[in-house]
Structure 1
Amino acid sequence: MKTNFKIILTMLLFGIGFQTIKAQVSKVVNTTAKQTEWQFSTRAGYDFPKYKEDFKYIDYSGGIMGGVSVNHYWNWLGLQTDFDYIKNSPKNNITNPFFVDNSAIPSAVAYSDMLTTKKDITRMFVGAGPSFRHLSNNTKFQAEFAVLAGLGTIDGGEILVEGVRKDGSKDLLTYHSGWDNEKLLTGKAQARLTYFFNKNWGIHAGAYYMHYFSGAKESSKNDILINNGYLTAGSALNVYYAENSTTAIRQDVVGESTTINAFNGQAIVRNNEDGISTSKDLMRKIDLSSFGIFAGITYRFGPNKEPKKIVEDVKANPIEKKYCIQTTAKDKYSKEILPNTDVTIIDSKGVVIKTEKTDAFGVVKFCDILPEDYIIAGKFNDVALEGNTVKKSEFKDNLTIVKEIFYADRNFIIKGKAVICNTATAINDVTIVLKNNESAVQKITNTSSKGEFTFQALENTNYTIYGKKENYLSQTMTILTKDYDRNQSLFIQLEICMDAADCGTAIALKNIHYDLNKYFIREDAKPELNRLVQFMNDNPTVKVELSSHTDSRSSNAYNLTLSQNRANAAVNYITSQGISKARLTGKGYGETKLLNRCADGINCTEAEHEMNRRTEVKVICPQ
């Protein structure tokens, strides 16, 4: 009983805490904070009883329950009155109906059946107590907790279990007298959740715990024993509990009989005859509690007038107006817009308020800005822009402040992309080298995942730019910034073409021209050969073959000799630039590898013959 009392006390404290720990009331008008109303609820469910007894062959099953509640609420606190009607039933737990007496002579008395005579248990509760609730802002959801005390009754529960012999006679196996309309102080704790689908009607579900205090005294009426001839009407003898001493179960099977132990110990009889009973506690008080679940409907009603609006007596803070600042980033000289520029709003104390990047139109818009003095700063390509200011007096209702910031650096910005030659395929992680040919200063950067890179370049300056990546032969470009007008454009756009130098694959070197019937290296051929020199410096373990080809004019022998001399000349030039001759092979193919139809005796244009006059480079595959 102490444990049950603790449970009820804990649930009571929970109900009180349920309201006291609610969040602080908002400092605005609240039309649902105070709801005075009545509620009427009906419910049905299932009850699970717990009888604290030591009956060996008797148990108690759950049963249906029904009830009504009336609640009156003042805001979150209310008063609840309940009535509950509950049905339980006793049952025997003897599962085998064949028994033998325990006499010294093993003469079998086989039971052919088992009879159970019983009265269902009827319980009722009437009580009242405080209830607590939380009602949602839209008044559709309600959570409740109530603690009640009142009067509980228990009646019935008498049960007789008999074994029927084959000759029709009966033996009492177990018996309990039950209860005779016992009235007890009873406590109940209940939790319930309700959903109101309109102003008045709702559905609910919940659970309860009920405890009967001080124990229910056993009945002395013995109606079932009298009706079955075990007692006579008006007898002074009262039996409260009985248990047979039968100790074995017999199972008759065709051709054989088996016996197993089932009842162990001597017979137990509790009655009111001193000296007959083997137990010292004759009539007992049996503790009873139960747990139940239920669902039902709720109807609520209250005053017809609207709930009074409650306003907390505090001084409301004035609502501060907020504004927007729109900023455009531009180049100061060409007026080009600058996408992806970092723009920052800084207050008068130097605190950064907001930072954003401009969109594809060079514009960024900051909103929810309080009217104060601000500085607008920007950065593009790691260069600070000429900023702007905003004064508090510029903020006007329903107007967006528009400002511009400028990129004022006179340097160009080279925006480039590394791609595989004759395709649009970007190459990432390429080392791009920009060399100032006048000061010999170099700048280095790597391409992004999209193959993109940027540099700053001085006005009126000569630059060389190329890429480096293992097994790639890069184009080398010359940039003359004097050819560009900084007042017209900030950007110099370019692509660096790179050939994949896979071993065994020939790559044509462009613009390698020779005078007629000559094989010395002309000045206009040196930039292309220098590209090969750079590739071999970047890939110090690579060996290459330089091959020279002629058109079909002149004899085969002459063309073979001329092409070999030209290949040797190209090798000699490259070695003169510091490349080991052991890494180079020169090979003249004459007219043996024509790229088109222009063989001996075929009339071709000069452009077609020029296609066949070429110098190629091929990485030699490792042995």
Structure 2
Amino acid sequence: MKKLILVVLAVLITGLTWGQTKEDSSPNNSGKLQISAFGGLSMPLGDYKNEIGRAKNGYFGGLAIDQYFKGNKWGLGIDARFLNHNMRKFDTVFFANGYIAPEYINHASFQHIGVGIGPTYKSNFGKLDLEAFLRGGVLFQGFPQYKQSIYVNQAVGPSLNMADVYYTSNPKRITKAWMGLGGLRLSYAINNHWGVFAQADYLRTFGKRFGGDSSEFHITKYNQKKGLNATDVLNVKDNQITNLIDFYEEQTITQKTYIQAVNVGLGIKYTFGAKRKIAPVAPMTKAVAPPATGQPKDILVVVKDLQTGIALSGVTVKISRNSIDNTSISNADGQAERVKAAEKGVYQVTALKNGIAAMPVEIGLADFDKSGNVIYKEIFHDDPRFTLIGETIRANDNSKLPGIGTVLTNSGNSQNMTQISDAEAKFVYQLEQQSAYNIVANQAGKFSQTESVTTKGLDRSKTLYVTLKLGVNNLDAGAVFVLKNIHYDFDQSYIRPDAGRILDNLLNVMFQNPTLRIELSSHTDSRGKDAYNMRLSQQRAEAAVNYLVSKGVDRSRMIARGYGETRLLNRCANGVQCDEDEHQANRRTEIKVLKY
């Protein structure tokens, strides 16, 4: 990779030197040489973005040299750029006697270097230049390598990898492809030499092979017949899963994708040569409006929830007439973007949110004949589900923490949904009626409690939104966290099903952070004999550790400690009268980060 970058820089410097020499030796040649540096957002498209490539929005940056010919209209340009697209990672899926987990063999991202050459055309409008460019060349591609495997728990020892059900199958991790590139650049001249610009272009590879190498990204997988859930069991005999065909097809399929992306960025350029000639700007002529067919009016549409009458934000609203759509997203007051000075006619209003369409509304000629300058319409959206509006925050100071992965699990059917909190640290899920859910943070280096959310007992005709703040901690050495909602039956140490769901969150944290070592401790209140409390708390701590070991966590990464009543959190020592809530605060399970 370093050698390739040096070669690209050498080509650019050679082109720059050639252009300067040519221009200096030919004073009558008005063709200009410019060099540009740019960078910005790169957005994957098609199968490269979707289920084959799973590429996310990334970034790009590069350099370009354009040598214009006499007249400064046509030129020849060289473009060298770097693109990086991280991939969407897979979640770990648990079933009754095992789990499906991903393994990333190298960096989980696509990293490409493209070099292209081709024509450039420029139009000048005073201090503005509009440049169109086409490039053909080579994209040096770096692909991620990963696999998704089924692990089945053993009675003794770590879980066994029984099958790889989804994996990359690239003949080579680093390969090449023919590349096409086309785009527009709008620049503004700061002075005779320096300028700034905005640029948008489209890049795509083509051709199945480059030399003897495949140019496409390959994955191989078994198509899934149905998903594994928490109650499913995979039967193993002679190190083979005997009922795997109940869940997966028997034959693998291989899928391929080209690389393609739209890139939008900003840049700065330097132009060599004589002073810039500002082209005269044609005088502006006043536009003549077509004759009105009726009194124009503004159209204002407000979206509301049908059952509660609450204004809805984030709804896609279309106001259409004669196959022309005015599309916008409703704001916090439920208002779509106002259509100003709409001509008299018939308009259709539609709205869509969460895949559910509202009942359309029509604006007719009679609406234009009424008094007033604004036509106001309400459109009602009917989604029977509740809306969870959550926020990821730092547990230590409650400040917003954006970009955190979350997992919402339906307690009734164990179905999972995932989402990453946005730039405002918000995440939104739709909740079914009369259902209970658990939600946790799901990100390497982070830990959150398992929070409970329920719609049981809520009246949808009165309530639309459910809110939650999800506290997130860093896994720093020495940090101590209380595991909420871990309960044991009286005088017992076995793991109840409700406690198992809480420990499954900790299980996922251990899998995501393979270097993490913890102490898992159990504590009692002061009631009962000291020796009994110490023995019971040790048994409970060991039961929790044994549960995690049974799910595939190496025992050497955990220490079980029972502290009895030796680490009370409040005043409720032996002989002190306390209420039940005060005693409950002392009955707890904790984890302490020993190493990370």
**TM-score normalised according to structure 2 size:** 0.46
Give the number of the structure whose alpha-carbon radius of gyration is greater: 1
TM-score, scaled to structure 1:
0.44
